[in-house]
Amino acid sequence: MKRGFKIEEDALAWEKSYKEHCKKDMSKSFGEFYKNYESDIRPRIKESTWRTKEYVVKYKILPYFKDMPMSSIKPLDVLKWQNGLLEMHNKKGNELSGTYLKTIQSQLSAIFNHAVRYYDLNGNPVKKAGQ
- The pLDDT assigned to 69 comes to 92
Q: Average pLDDT for residues 81-101, to the nearest whole number?
A: 87
Would the pLDDT of 64 be above 90?
A: yes
* C-alpha to C-alpha distance for 55 and 49, rounded to whole angstroms: 10
Would the pLDDT of 18 be above 80?
A: no
- 8 vs 26: which has the higher pLDDT: 8
Superfamily of domain 26-129: Tyrosine recombinase, N-terminal domain (1.10.150.130)
- The pLDDT assigned to 25 comes to 60
Domain ranges of the chain: 26-129
Would the pLDDT of 75 be above 80?
A: yes
